[in-house]
């Protein structure tokens, strides 16, 4: 992938996608968290600690090459996004909870993502392979995530009708952008593609399936209704692979680190659809929000 395209187009395109996320958020979404603290705490614990730990174990058990291990950890540290809200709508989850979790995840990711990635680099990489996130790059990640989201929220607040008109085009752009960067990463690494799939395919498939299961069954173990547990499952189980790939390609300048997110993107839609069909057919069908 051309370096000029990476440094100019990808950050701008991601900013548009993240602003689109902000178009769906209001300050009420943050305030709503206080009404359901138990389910929010459980979901965030699963997202920030359980899944990161599971990704780490997958890296160790499958002995992933260092750059691919860092890529999987980057993916695990990436928050959910608007796709989770869509799946929650399709498969009868608590969409309001999804939106609230998306709001707080966007803020937390700006802090936790650089920390988790730097830990992964220190653990998996040799000294001669450093591609770390120094302070300037940490600030770049912070700005990539929060500033566009904030701009989107401001548009939503001051021009709600305009925000509604922008919503659909931005969603379509987000899908097109995801496809472009996946294809770009695949074309750039086409000679090593089958090798990468062999190395990372099982790891990303396991991570995708486990993410959805953890997101649903852990809340259920703590008495959360199926209605809200579905929302948690999609928020936790559907990671923002667009964000992960863009950070890998721009901030970390590594196509290899982007490969786990690229391969994961393929599994994500398939597994989320299978899970959604399963949980709506065989899971409890409560529509209450009791926690």
pLDDT recorded at residue 217: 95
- Count CA atoms within 13 Å of residue 131 on its CB side: 23
User: Is the separation of the CB atoms in 30 and 37 below 8 Å?
Assistant: no
- Mind listing the pLDDT tens digit of every residue in the chain (291 residues)? 444 455 556 667 767 777 877 787 777 767 766 777 889 899 989 988 999 999 999 999 999 999 999 999 999 998 876 677 778 877 878 877 887 887 788 778 778 888 888 889 888 886 544 455 555 555 666 677 678 878 888 898 888 888 888 878 887 877 777 677 667 666 766 666 677 778 888 999 999 999 999 999 999 999 998 889 998 999 888 888 888 888 888 778 788 898 899 888 888 888 988 998 898 887 666 555 444
Burial class (CB in 10 A: 0-12, 13-18, 19+), 287: exposed
**DSSP-derived secondary structure for 22-87:** HTT--HHHHHGGGGSHHHHHHHHHIIIIIHHHHHHHHHHHTT--HHHHHHHHHHHHS---HHHHHH
Does residue 284 sit in helix, strand or coil?
coil
User: Is the separation of the CB atoms in 141 and 247 below 8 Å?
Assistant: yes
Q: To which residue do tokens 């979790």 refer?
A: 101
pTM: 0.78
User: Is the separation of the CB atoms in 240 and 250 below 8 Å?
Assistant: no
User: Is the separation of the CB atoms in 207 and 50 below 8 Å?
Assistant: no
pLDDT recorded at residue 6: 52
Residue ranges of domains in the chain, CATH in brackets = 1-279 (1.20.1530.20)
User: Is the separation of the CB atoms in 228 and 291 below 8 Å?
Assistant: yes
Q: Which of 194, 225, 215 is nearest to 94 (CA)?
A: 225
């Amino acid at each position: 992938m051309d370096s000029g395209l990476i440094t100019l187009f990808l950050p701008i395109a991601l900013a548009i996608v993240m602003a689109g996320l902000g178009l769906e958020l209001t300050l009420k979404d943050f305030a709503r968290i206080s009404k359901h603290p138990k389910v929010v705490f459980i979901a965030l614990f699963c997202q920030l600690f359980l899944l990161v730990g599971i990704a780490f174990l997958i890296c160790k058990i499958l002995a992933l090459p260092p750059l691919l291990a860092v890529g999987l950890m980057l993916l695990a540290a990436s928050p959910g996004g608007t796709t989770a809200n869509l799946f929650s709508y399709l498969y009868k989850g608590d969409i309001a909870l999804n939106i609230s979790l998306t709001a707080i995840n966007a803020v937390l990711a700006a802090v936790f993502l650089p920390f988790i990635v730097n830990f992964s680099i220190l653990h998996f990489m040799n000294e001669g392979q450093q591609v770390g996130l120094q302070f300037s790059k940490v600030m770049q990640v912070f700005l990539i995530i929060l500033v566009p989201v904030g701009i989107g929220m401001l548009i939503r607040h001051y021009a709600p009708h305009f925000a509604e008109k922008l919503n659909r085009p931005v969603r379509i752009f987000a899908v097109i952008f995801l496809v472009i960067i996946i294809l770009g990463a695949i074309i750039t690494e086409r000679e090593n593609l089958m090798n990468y799939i062999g190395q990372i395919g099982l790891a990303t498939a396991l991570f995708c399936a486990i993410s959805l299961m953890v997101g649903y069954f852990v809340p259920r173990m703590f008495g959360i209704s199926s209605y809200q547990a579905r929302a948690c499952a999609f928020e936790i189980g559907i990671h923002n692979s667009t964000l992960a790939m863009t950070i890998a390609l721009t901030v970390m300048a590594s196509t290899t680190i982007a490969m786990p997110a690229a391969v994961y993107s393929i599994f994500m839609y398939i597994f989320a659809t299978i899970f959604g069909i399963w949980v709506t057919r065989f899971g409890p069908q409560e529509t209450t929000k009791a926690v």
